[in-house]
Chain A
Amino acid sequence: MANVQTPDALLVKQYVGGDESALSTLIDRHQSKIYGFIYSKISDRDITDDIFQDTFIKVIKTLKSNSYNEEGKFLPWVMRIAHNLIIDHFRRNKKMPMFRETEEFSIFSIMTDNAMTIENQLITDQVEKDLRKIIEELPHDQKEVLMMRIYQDLSFKEISELTGVSINTALGRMRYALMNLRKVIEKHQIILTN
């Protein structure tokens, strides 16, 4: 005996007419295709279940409110709803993307810890200390300008006002301060890099 399957269109009609079992048949008939389609895009069972559920909630609402037009076929229509919900899902998650670790992709290739290691921190502290020591050796007027410019972040105009010298003099003192620093660093072969 030939296995005659009730067409989708007839089942939809029966469901709209109040036959709840028709929906069960429709879900049973198409669930693996729709579920597989969603899973192929999402790759997560739980989210796939959620989208599958939302898809059929839309289907149920549309059918029950008599908003479904029979122009298209049932399955492509449901697939389109699922497709739109998948797009919505990705749009929502764009701001907070989720990455899964696979053989070809490691999460650590895009994640880095920018905090300094203990070793780097120690080196930085040492460099800072050495530099301060050298600055202390500079003549007072040069040291004053350099400290104000570098550590207090003052402009040369402000420095000239505070020290009572012209801007050009302040600039000149800064220049000499840097030249003297360089000389000391070269002379003692001090390495000031991290």
Chain B
Amino acid sequence: MAKIYSKKTLVNTAMKPKKETVSFLLNYSKALSFIKVGKMNIETIAN
């Protein structure tokens, strides 16, 4: 059988972030809002 000398590629397209990471991002997105005061954009996080 032919020997494969090339290194294993590190890029794995099937790799996905942890469920908790995605869930955190979605919750963070829901909690985050910006309030425009004049020229300023104030960031607020709802608990």
Contacts and interface: CB of A to CB of B under 8 A. Distances in A.
B11 A40 contact: yes
A36 B21 contact: no
Interface residues of B, number: 23
A60 B15 contact: no
Contacts of A156: none
Interface residues of A, number: 24
A64 B12 CA distance: 31
Interface in B12-45: 12-18, 21-22, 24-26, 28-30, 32-34, 41, 43
Given A31-B22, A48-B17, A56-B25, 13 more contacts: A23-B26, A27-B25, A32-B16, A33-B13, A35-B17, A36-B13, A39-B11, A39-B15, A49-B17, A52-B17, A53-B21, A60-B29, A66-B34
Interface of B: 9-18, 21-22, 24-26, 28-30, 32-34, 41, 43
Interface of A: 20, 23-24, 27, 31-33, 35-37, 39-40, 43, 48-49, 52-53, 56-57, 60-61, 64-66
